[in-house]
Amino acid sequence: MVRSGLLVAGLCVVLAGCDDSPSSSSTVPVVVSAQLSPANEVPPIANAESVARGAAQVSFNVARDSAGAVTGATATMYFQLTGLPSGTVIRGAHIHSSPAGVNGPIVVDTGITPVNTQTLADGRQEFSFRDISVTAATMQGILANPGAFYFNVHTVTNPGGVARGQLIQVQ
For all residues of the chain together, what is the average pLDDT?
87
Average pLDDT over residues 77-90: 96
CATH code for 20-169? 2.60.40
Distance of alpha carbon 45 from alpha carbon 37, whole angstroms: 9
Where are the alpha helices (H) located in 56-166, listed in sequence order?
136-144
Helix (H, G, I), strand (E, B) or coil at 71: strand
| In the chain, % of residues over pLDDT 90 | 82
Could you tell me where the DSSP H helices lie in the chain? 2-15, 136-144
Residue 121 pLDDT class (50, 70, 90 cuts): confident
Q: What band does 12 get if pLDDT is binned at 50, 70 and 90?
A: very low
Residue 126 φ/ψ, nearest 5 degrees:
-110, 145
Assess whether pLDDT exceeds 60 at residue 164: yes
pLDDT over 80 at 139, yes or no: yes
Segment 30-42 mean pLDDT? 98
Q: Are 140 and 90 in contact (CB under 8 A)?
A: no
pLDDT tens figures, 97-113: 999 999 999 999 999 99
Contact 102, 40 (CB under 8 A): no
Domain residue ranges in the chain: 20-169
- The residue type of 121 is A
pTM for the predicted model, two decimal places: 0.83
Averaged pLDDT, 107-122: 94
